[in-house]
Chain A
Amino acid sequence: MYQYDAFDHEILQKRIEEFKSQVKRRLSGELSEEEFKPLRLMNGVYLQLHAYMLRIAIPYGTFSSDQMRKFAHIARKYDRGYGHFTTRQNIQYNWPRLTDIPTILEELAEVELHAIQTSGNCIRNTTADQLAGVAKHEIADPRGYAEIIRQWSTFHPEFTYLPRKFKIAITGDTHDRAAIRFHDIGLEIVKNKSQEIGFKVLVGGGLGRTPIIGTVIKEFLPEKHLLSYLEAILRAYNLDGRRDNKYKARIKILVQETGIETYRTTVEQEWKEILKEGRTDLPLNAQIRILEHFTLPKYSHKGVTSYNFSDFYAADSDFARWINHNMHDHKIENYAAVTISLKPLKGIPGDISAEQMDGIASLADLCSLGEIRATHEQNLVFPHVFKDDLPALWRDLEKIGLATANHGLISDIIACPGLDYCALANARSIPIAQEIAQRFDDPERMEEIGELKIKVSGCINACAHHHVGHIGILGVDKKGVEAYQLMLGGSADEKASIGKITGASFDAEEIIDAVEATVDLYLTLRQDNERFIDTYNRVGMAPFKEVLYG
């Protein structure tokens, strides 16, 4: 994992001092709310329905057991004993007092955490594949490049006031777990014919009120030119992106309005100028110094044959179910990565208590070399587990209520905080997710249904990525009353697609029935155990509309 150097610590301390002074001036009345709002947003502080919300960055979703312990401490001391993992690999607290936030940030800085780039019209925290570095078929670990982007983009003077927020995602695997096609910039690590590492660069993807699949702007960008090319994209956007209408200000609108060819030409011209200046791309030694933080750790059981795991797998069907759904192949033989589902029955997707955080931290030290990942699907991952440790890990996770065997299944639902917390929401998301999970709370039925991704957003801003759910649900407001639109056929992976609305919206009770009817129809229509999304792609919307609306 990346370790801060003296410069990182220094800029973080300066930022905290600056924000401490801004809060003090606001509380004394020296700053108006209008003046203060953009400043607090630059530090991850939102005002929600009931309280402030503080969003903390987890760069590329990788964090340590000590950082998890700090999250637990913050939850206990300054919040209400829990935190919420978001769909951008961050964590947020729903109840901090403004007066406590500077102190919270000081405490976070002790473990190299902060709230920078979690809000505002800047380059946000870069997200990455949660299996980065350990995925079996990965070309290269994307986190080193994400760290390079973090260092380049943090407080970049040219990109602090962009037309709108700007999100970058990166993966090193051809199987896209990071939804790169739905980001302002998506980066896929690829190799050219000479086996040199570089990036396929996609631009102008996004969700929200205008969902668009990103377009390839460069098939192969040499590794050494990552920053100069990103800078060219950002510079072209910063110059030409619309500032007259916030709903038209994202880069996706610019790319659609100008056309990808014109935009590419503009970017290439900018890039040439930047390359002439010759000061943006990292010198090779600096790049190597950062990438070295992300080499594989020393696995003490490397080469050891695993017996305990397979014996236990055969003997315990609950354990076997958990393994089947939550375990992932690993680069190193007899090691595995494991998803820890934050979607227990009746739980709140992404929420985790301080006690569970402490439990996870201890287990990470015991079984995952002290490393944890946050996923954009609101789960956690232990990336380095020796297979013989899996039975004990599973039992210990059960003790803290986190051994749910549902990764990728119908109850592994993404849900935004919705109208229960969010000032922007039109309808509640969490109770809908809970009701659906409860409706399908039968392990055998869930297994029969197979992979099915449901995503529930409380408003058009699409924090839960409803457009790319196999089944997506969007909360809308109908004269002050909650209603829900149903969408089918979305996908966030390498076969990206945007879901289509089935028809008229449903009320809160009807939407659960509508999901069940949709799933039941899929089970009658599917062939050869195909997934829901494959059946939908084969048969189209018509039979689903028929069963839903008659």
Chain B
Amino acid sequence: MTIAIPKRPLRRRVKKEKKNYNLALTANHLFSGKVVYFTGSGWANLLHDAALSLDGDSLISQAQNYIKNESFVGLELIKIDKLYNQLIPLTTKEKIRLSGPSIIYN
């Protein structure tokens, strides 16, 4: 019997240079739990509408005016990359938060 031997995982070279990523502010809507992004003048469901900044503190301070009764919860700054003019979250977790579960029920 032949045994399938997987390739040994490649040791990826760690990039030393630091890239300054744009940040967006995300949260969940209190009533529904839906994912939302801060636009600079409110909240939207689409990342495309998100306000971007290199300064996370400034985003959070702007957003304070738009959190009535704390109706948006779980605020978090996320790193955003731009590819072909599309905004793309850097981490797999945020990609899944943006587009929903990667597996579709049924």
Binding site for B on A (CB under 8 A): 26-29, 32-33, 47-52, 80-82, 97-99, 348, 351, 353, 419-421, 423, 425-428, 430-431, 434, 477, 480-482, 504-507, 510, 513-514, 516-517, 520-521, 523-524, 547-550
Task: Give which listed residue, A50, A482, A513, contacts B100 with CB less than 8 A.
Answer: A50
6 A-B pairs with least C-beta separation: A29-B69, A480-B91, A513-B6, A51-B33, A420-B101, A52-B33
Name the distance in Å between A24's Cβ and chain B's nearest Cβ. 12
Binding site for A on B (CB under 8 A): 1, 3-9, 28, 30-35, 68-71, 73-74, 90-93, 96-97, 100-103, 105-106
A47 close to B28 (CB less than 8 A)? yes
Q: In chain B, what residue has the closest Cβ to A504?
A: B9
Known: A348-B103, A517-B4. 8 other contacts (CB 8 A): A27-B69, A50-B33, A50-B34, A98-B30, A98-B32, A431-B102, A513-B4, A521-B3
Q: In chain A, what residue has the closest Cβ to B3?
A: A520
Chain A interface secondary structure, helix, strand, loop or mixed?
A: mixed
Given contacts A47-B74, A50-B35, contact A510 B7 (CB under 8 A): yes
Q: In chain A, what residue has the closest Cβ to B11?
A: A504
Residues of B within 8 Å of A523, CB to CB, are 1
Q: How far is the CA of A550 from the CA of B9 in the complex (A)?
A: 11
B7 close to A348 (CB less than 8 A)? no
25 examples of A-B residue contacts, CB within 8 angstroms: A29-B71, A33-B73, A47-B33, A48-B33, A49-B97, A50-B97, A50-B100, A80-B105, A82-B105, A99-B31, A351-B105, A419-B96, A420-B101, A423-B74, A425-B93, A428-B96, A434-B103, A506-B9, A517-B3, A520-B4, A547-B3, A547-B5, A548-B5, A548-B6, A550-B5
A32 close to B102 (CB less than 8 A)? no
Q: In chain A, what residue has the closest Cβ to B97?
A: A49
Q: How far is the CA of A27 from the CA of B90 in the complex (A)?
A: 32
Residues of B within 8 Å of A421, CB to CB, are 101
Q: In chain A, what residue has the closest Cβ to B69?
A: A29
Name the distance in Å between B69's Cβ and chain A's nearest Cβ. 3
Q: How far is the CA of A523 from the CA of B28 in the complex (A)?
A: 49
Residues of A within 8 Å of B34, CB to CB, are 50-51
Residues of B within 8 Å of A507, CB to CB, are 9
Q: How far is the CA of A520 from the CA of B3 in the complex (A)?
A: 6
Name the distance in Å between B22's Cβ and chain A's nearest Cβ. 15
A514 close to B31 (CB less than 8 A)? no
Residues of A within 8 Å of B9, CB to CB, are 504-507, 510
Residues of B within 8 Å of A514, CB to CB, are 6
Q: How far is the CA of A421 from the CA of B32 in the complex (A)?
A: 15
Residues of A within 8 Å of B74, CB to CB, are 47, 423
B68 close to A29 (CB less than 8 A)? yes
Given contacts A99-B31, A353-B106, contact A480 B90 (CB under 8 A): yes
Task: Give which listed residue, B4, B28, B68, B103, contacts A420 with CB less than 8 A.
Answer: B103
Q: How far is the CA of A351 from the CA of B104 in the complex (A)?
A: 11
B103 close to A430 (CB less than 8 A)? yes
Q: How far is the CA of A427 from the CA of B102 in the complex (A)?
A: 12
Residues of B within 8 Å of A348, CB to CB, are 103, 105
Q: How far is the CA of A549 from the CA of B6 in the complex (A)?
A: 8
